[in-house]
Structure 1
Amino acid sequence: MSALKPTLVIIHGGWHVPESYEKLIVALEAGGYEVHCPRLPSTNQSRPPNADLYTDSELVRSYVSSLVRAGRTVVAIMHSYGGQVGSNALVGLGLENRVAQGLPGGVSHLVYLAAFAVPEGISMRDKVKEFNHMGLVPLAFNFAEDGTCLNNDPKTLLIGPSTVDEEEVERYLSTLVRWNGNGLHLPIKHAAWREIPVAYIHATADMTMPLDYQKSFVEGMEKNGRPVQTFELATGHCPNLTATEGVVEAVNSFVKG
């Protein structure tokens, strides 16, 4: 691995686990990156759930902090719900801030991959309410009494139309697990995008995180003074599977830029 390349940390989405990102991890590693993808506690299958957004944030902060303290330059790639986790977890770990304090390592870039990117105090549900889509939530997600949930139609809502081989799609779907859907209701306490350079990869055919949502995230960050470099992929909610090379190209372009 080239010493000049940053370490990549993928922060996965709801229902997903690290195995869901195997195709993207392999592609990024082939490009010379070291890639990490810690499993979020909210996907640990506990019933009733014993982990949520804040537990996930603590895990990611600890994981990335250990890399940073070892002198690593880290790029966080956050998918879907992972945007809430990364935004909340990585505040104070920015490379620029750490260099100014004479500290080693730091998070140099944040890459939101069809991911939530909101200000402090905002939950995922707040965004759904803003777009008057709360009535669609029970159609898309199957919530149990304990708050854990499954996606009602992941093949349509998460993957969507694609050129990916059917066997590969089914293998991907088999990695998805029950997730603590209470994460929809919890607001983030921090917004790391205020202090770390940001890229946003739009998935233009996304049926889970509509493009209007994605565009509003970028507009919100820019209104708050954070420039955002944007990329567009004509794919559904999981570009890690359906537009893998496009994700790699966007990461390469952003990191090199």
Structure 2
Amino acid sequence: MSKPQVVLLPGAWHLPTCFSLIIPKLKAAGYTVHTTQLPSVTDKNPPKDLSADIAAVQTVVEKAIGSGNDVIVVPHSWAGFVAGSALVGYSKKERESKGQKGGVVRCGYMCAFMVPEGVSLSDTNQGPPPTWWTIEGDHFSRLTDSAGDILYSDLPDSQRAHWFEKASRTHSLHAFEAKATGESWKQIPTYYLICEDDLAIPVAGQEAMTGMVKNMGGELWTERLKSSHSPFLSHVGETVAWIKRIAGEHA
């Protein structure tokens, strides 16, 4: 039986290179891996809503489905917010009901946002931005120099600096203010990796989101990892093993 295709979606301010430690291991295990940069991660012409990010996710997922493949989608952080809207109609069950082959069979949210339709990321934080990012002008959010200490808190200082240099500095502010347009997690079985040492999305926030999804009828399972906000950098083996379990491997 062929293995499902894997789609990795990076979070806010981040480029697909953030997955460069786990992609080779997934490929070595026999998985075809896809990823893409989300248009809201940019320092010019920022999207004014969520539509560009949604379109980018749908494009890479359609490529993974191809002529009828099973697909698992693994969003990190901000990308979970996008996936909730972008994957509406892409579950294998929904596609089969329309006579289409293949589709998304499971999702794996890595300390990622899950919100109801009609809620924006800004709605979840009514106070000022945290100290590790700031608002720049009318269009951008920008990481501050302290962001590496938050996003990669369990990496050595030299590695924090390395990955911070590889991250984009800016992200569309309008995207943070856009409302979610769907709740795909109601249709797609979902696994959630709670990162217990996450300083960007504290455990209480992750638990609140997973509880909300269960209360709204979503099929969701959680695992816990003593990791910072970036488990694909600090806990590479554990993250790959978790993704493989989502794909159906249990050895």
User: Structure 1-normalised TM-score?
Assistant: 0.90
- 1:164-210, Cα deviation, whole Å (9 max, x unpaired): 45444332111111111322211110111010100000111111111
> Is contact 1:11-1:85 (8 Å) kept?
no
| Match among 74, 79, 91 for residue 77 of structure 1 | 74
Aligned partners of 1:8 and 1:36 also within 8 Å? yes
Task: Say which SS state the counterpart of residue 39 (structure 1) adopts.
Answer: coil
Q: Which residue is 1:169 aligned to?
A: 160
Looking at structure 1, the residues matched to 47 and 115 of structure 2 have their Cα atoms a distance apart, in angstroms, of 25
1:138 Cα deviation from its structure 2 partner: 4.7
AA partner of residue 40 (structure 1): L
For 1:74, what is the secondary structure of its paired residue? Answer: strand
Percentage of matched positions with identical amino acids: 26
Report the counterpart of residue 92 of structure 2 in structure 1: 95
Gaps of 5+ in 1: none
1:250, distance to aligned residue in structure 2 (A):
1.4
| Equivalent in 213, 229, 249 of residue 221 of structure 1 | 213
Q: Contact 2:34/2:60 (CA < 8 Å) preserved in 1?
A: no
Identify the residue that residue 252 of structure 1 maps to in structure 2: 244
Pairing partner for 1:242 from 214, 217, 234? 234
Q: Give the Cα separation in 2 of the matches to 1:142 and 1:18.
A: 22
Determine if contact 1:159/1:236 at 8 Å carries over to the other structure: yes
Aligned position for 1:22: 20
**2:204 maps to which of 212, 217, 231:** 212
Which residue identity is paired with 1:192? Answer: S
Match of 2:122 in 1: 125
The one-letter code of the counterpart of 1:7 is Q
Q: Tell me the SS of whatever aligns to 2:2.
A: coil
Whole-angstrom CA distance in 2 between matches of 1:155 and 1:244: 18
- What's the offset of the Cα at 1:58? 1.1
What's the CA shift for 1:24? Answer: 1.8
Structure 2 gap ranges (5+): none
Cα–Cα, structure 1 residues 205 and 138, in superposed 2: closer, same or farther, change >3 Å?
Answer: closer
Matched residue SS, 1:88: helix
Q: How many residues align?
A: 247
Matched, 1:155 2:153: no
Paired letter, 1:90: L
CA contact (8 A) 2:48 2:175 kept: no
Residue 40 of structure 1 contacts residue 56 of structure 1 at CA under 8 Å; is this kept in 2? yes
Query: TM-score normalised to the size of structure 2?
Result: 0.92
How far residue 63 of structure 1 moved from its aligned partner, in angstroms, is 2.3
1:41-67 CA distance string (max 9 Å, x none):
112321x52464221111111221233
Return the structure number with greater helix share: 1
> Could you tell me which of 2, 8, 11 is aligned with 1:10?
8
Which residue does 1:42 correspond to in 2? 40
Aligned pair 1:191/2:189, yes or no? no
Q: Do the aligned partners of residues 63 and 253 (structure 1) sit closer, same or farther apart at CA in structure 2, a change above 3 Å counting?
A: closer
SS at match of 1:9: strand
RMSD: 1.7
Matched residue SS, 1:43:
coil
The answer as to whether partners of 1:229 and 1:254 remain within 8 angstroms in 2 is no
Residue aligning to 2:50: 53
